[in-house]
Amino acid sequence: MSINATLIGQMITFTLLVWFTMKYIWPPLIGAIEERKSKIAEGLAAAEKGQEDMERAAKKAANVLREAKQQSADIVNLAQKRANEIVEESKGTAKQEGVRMIEAAQAQIEQEMQRAQEQMRKEVSALALKAAGQILQQEIDKAKHKELLGKVSEQLGQA
């Protein structure tokens, strides 16, 4: 095969095509590839950072949850203590109220007993005066006097 003008024309055309491609097509392609490469790298870095942020957030959420549980346990303990204090306070108040009511009832019983004794004294004195009046109205006779005192003592016993 001989080198002829066609082959030389094809070589010149190929050389121009390579030069044109290297000058005008290759730089935008390389730029696009580099840009895509940097975007992918940025995306991977962002994903890695997001993963780290997510892990930190999960740890922080676990800490917050643990603290919240501790605080709720503390609140429950304080509420239980306060409830026990209120119960003890109520018991003390109820005991004091019971003692006061018993004392009031005893005082009332004492007053009723004094009233009843006073009334009995009045009745006894009235019966004694009545008996004395009856004794004085009748003649003084030992038998009648004894009989009259028996009746009066019987009346006192019934009263």
| pLDDT tens-digit readout, 60-77 | 999 999 999 999 999 999
Determine the number of helices (DSSP H) and then strands (DSSP E) in the chain: 3, 0
3-state secondary structure at position 97: helix
Confidence band of 140 (pLDDT split at 50, 70, 90): low
Instruction: Please tell me the least confidently modeled range out of 30-39, 55-64, 118-127.
Output: 118-127
Instruction: Please tell me the least confidently modeled range out of 76-80, 89-93, 109-113, 136-140.
Output: 136-140
Check residue 138 and give its pLDDT. Answer: 63
pLDDT at residue 88 greater than cutoff 80: yes
pTM of the model: 0.43
pLDDT at residue 132 greater than cutoff 70: yes
Check residue 78 and give its pLDDT. Answer: 94
Please tell me the distance from the alpha carbon of residue 99 to that of residue 97, in angstroms, as a whole number. Answer: 5
Amino acid type, 130: K
